[in-house]
Chain A
């Protein structure tokens, strides 16, 4: 097991007499030590590419009374993903178990306490050999890795996300010029979506996946700024170490969090069905699959 040494513990231990004290808690782990200081935010896209991707993200997941992909930081999420191999260790998997967004239970009552754990999600977990090879193929393409294209042509070579984005974003600009626009961002949103539909299928799929991820990821990955999308779309996000079921240490009684009931209806959530256009879509889909509408 390999986990990056945590900066705060590095500092704590260094202050207490040096790294040797670290060894016992690194049981069975290979490690990459990181010095103190924030993780650098890396970037792969240039300004023009970011502008194209921003214009695309704004059209696919627009801002209204709820946050859109741009406001959530999905472009930053994508850029960080594309740059994730540039550091000393791939920055793809973040630490755990806690984010510090939720408190420890109060040891006397079991209810939400006032102590919060540190944010482990800011730490980087070093991947295994095979995980790292897979990540390199994903980002850089199968030819960038020894034996990465071993099954070609039965399994087509992987182009890699970096090339996919570089070419795909350039292609959107070309499609915009073909439509008589100065650049992609100056197209209106329907025209951007139509140009996007005409772009490379693999690129399209990557963008859609990554916008969903950038919208709803843990904020430490660069998107979902401050958890805005979780709030706007009524989703709890990570809940440890408090969780949803609380325990009274004195009596052993089990009870729900008052703010997020687990065992019963939550009156604070939307409980009045689907919006009309969504309901029509669902009805058609369900009946088309041989299902039933009960009311």
Chain B
């Protein structure tokens, strides 16, 4: 019997395990839920996580655990990088295209947080499903110049049971039927929706006046006590913050995995290389740096990459120095990198909108996701109703971006035009996949441990630029209908530096043809016999919906197929 909780620093779970059926690199949304499937089915799993653990008691079966040390603390969280990638010690480089030379910018590039639980810890947990048509975009659109749209090797119906299972395992609140554009569901949401924020109600009323269809945003946050976690009390520090009361479902699957006694999680362990056998088809060891920075390694019968699109690709490239990269016979590894092309419409209202109360986004609409092939309804994305909740960031805006000093600064601080009076709509526009948008290793730059760093080459496609231009004036008018005094669209990302979204997808495209894809329909690398990928990297196209629920449903399905290839849906919800 496993002795839980662990008493060993930087190790969670059963510290006595030393032989593993699987090693998972990354403990985020995909890695955590894959670990749950494998561990509840009796496999011994080692999870390597590069970041620290801020969930004391995550592996403690006693009620009331874990007891996260997150807080409503802007200094710790946003200013000093409690969760952040540390660009000073692990920079990335960025360029819009090869014409920029080796790089155009060095620093923070689309970093996802580094922590046990990954980026899902600081997300506000928006969890819509993709649309049915998102799985067959090449069939819908045909060949689009410059883009590499592809059909997925599975359709929505095949993924639907795994969507439903993920919603239950993570705990998603939502209202069936509220979004007329939502894909078919086999059952209800596990929880009703929570309290709507004032700003979301204002914008919903405005949207209805314009004939749009706002709905409560599905989110993996408890609206009622469930699964040993309390209901969200709308503290207001949600997006960008860890939940102080653990109402988010961020690490619910990971905790369940740890409590089986079949998992050992090693935090502050940064994977540096996958070692293969002489055939090149089997990974025999994962090398990493331990919490003190010393080289170490771990082996398992299988390896699952879950380090995020950019870092999983980097690890494959680091594993084949001088070569094309591990698993890259197709030449597609690192390519088709996608973000969501966000259009931000900002409204300034006479009344205070108190954005520091509520869970950042509690409503939105999907009318602007569009219809493939319909020029009157181009493919944009879901629109979120949000606001501002960070006071220090707001003050920096006045001091640094608009250059206010002295008495005029005080007028801005009192009036709070970009704080208390601001409502922000974000459209998560679909980013057309392009083979030229990619991750590779910067030829010169190293991190503080001496390892080559990722370089992102990216520029938006005409498709998302056109959709953004099409919908921007409609978003401005929606602010007017909701009662705004002013509204504008934030200046568009213009190529430099990198887009700032945390929706990072692609680089290990899933497909049936090994010549044009990196992983197969079960997310196993075509080129290797025991290597899988279970993060957002496998998505062939990015849709216009928040992607985490989908990448989790895919990870659940892939892990289920490792356990039972004939009936993966039957093994993915075993109790811990």
Contact = CB atoms under 8 A, between A and B. Distances in A.
**Range of interface residues on chain B?**
35 or more
Contacts of B446: 147, 150-151
Interface string B413-425: 1111101110000
A34 interface: no
Contacts of A98: 71, 244
A62 B406 contact: yes
A264 B198 contact: yes
B116 A59 contact: no
Contacts of B402: 281
A102 to B, nearest CB: 9
Interface stretch (B273-281, B347-355, B373-381): B347-355
B69 A273 contact: no
Contact of A292 (B9, B400, B476): B476
A120 B54 CA distance: 14
B410 A61 contact: yes
A193 B74 contact: no
B331 interface: no
B235 A240 contact: yes
B560 interface: no
B396 A212 contact: yes
A272 B411 contact: no
Interface string A265-279: 110011111110111
Contact of B71 (A121, A130, A147, A262): A121
Given A245-B195, A286-B348, A213 B75 contact: yes
A234 interface: yes
Contacts of A99: 71-72
Given A147-B449, A240-B71, A189 B406 contact: yes
B196 A263 contact: yes
B420 A234 contact: yes
A233 B9 CA distance: 43
Given A128-B52, A271-B350, A274-B421, A148 B71 contact: no
A28 B270 CA distance: 17
Contacts of B74: 216-218
Contacts of A279: 415, 417
B510 to A, nearest CB: 31
A289 B68 CA distance: 42
Interface string A47-87: 00000000000011110101010000000000000000000
A147 B244 contact: no
Contact of A193 (B197, B405, B488): B405
B81 A134 contact: yes
Interface string B369-401: 000000000000000000000011001100110
A28 B234 contact: no
B480 A292 contact: yes
A146 to B, nearest CB: 8
Residue among B51, B79, B410 with the most chain A CB within 10 A? B410
Contact of B7 (A23, A120, A215): A23
Interface in B67-94: 67-76, 79-82, 86, 88-91
Contacts of A190: 406
Contact of A211 (B68, B88, B399): B399
Contact of A238 (B12, B73, B413): B73
B356 interface: yes
B75 A244 contact: no
A283 B488 CA distance: 10
A286 B487 contact: yes
A274 B10 CA distance: 50
A66 B416 CA distance: 13
Nearest to B398: A212
B5 A2 contact: no
A291 B476 contact: yes
B268 interface: yes
Contact of A95 (B71, B400, B419, B420): B71
A151 B233 contact: no
B421 A151 contact: no
Interface in B327-366: 348, 350-352, 354, 356-358
A155 B489 contact: no
B56 interface: yes
Interface stretch (B57-65, B298-306, B515-523, B543-551): B57-65
A36 interface: no
A251 interface: no
B250 interface: no
Interface in A226-278: 230, 233-247, 252, 254, 256, 260-266, 269-275, 277-278
B485 A295 contact: yes
A2 B391 contact: no
Interface in B421-468: 421, 444-450
Contacts of A40: none
Nearest to A134: B86
Contacts of B82: 93, 125
A21 interface: no
Interface in A14-40: 23-31
A61 B235 CA distance: 29
Given A121-B73, A155-B91, A254-B194, A269 B420 contact: yes
Interface string A281-295: 111011001111111
B392 A24 contact: no
Interface in B461-492: 476-477, 479-480, 484-491
B410 A277 contact: no
Nearest to A92: B80
A172 interface: no
A107 interface: no
A283 B406 contact: no
A245 B223 CA distance: 10
Contacts of A209: 396, 399-400
Interface in A131-177: 131, 133-135, 137-138, 142, 145-148, 150-151, 154-155, 158
B411 A277 contact: yes
B42 interface: no
Residue among B5, B74, B81, B348 with the most chain A CB within 10 A? B348
A254 to B, nearest CB: 5
Contacts of B489: 289-291
A218 B109 CA distance: 28
Given A1-B52, A155-B106, A281-B402, A241 B392 contact: no
A213 B265 CA distance: 35
Given A93-B82, A129-B291, A245-B194, 12 more contacts: A97-B67, A99-B71, A150-B448, A216-B392, A218-B75, A233-B413, A234-B352, A236-B354, A245-B195, A256-B195, A262-B357, A278-B415
15 contacts: A3-B56, A128-B291, A137-B89, A193-B405, A209-B399, A215-B392, A216-B391, A263-B198, A272-B350, A274-B415, A277-B408, A281-B402, A289-B488, A293-B486, A294-B487
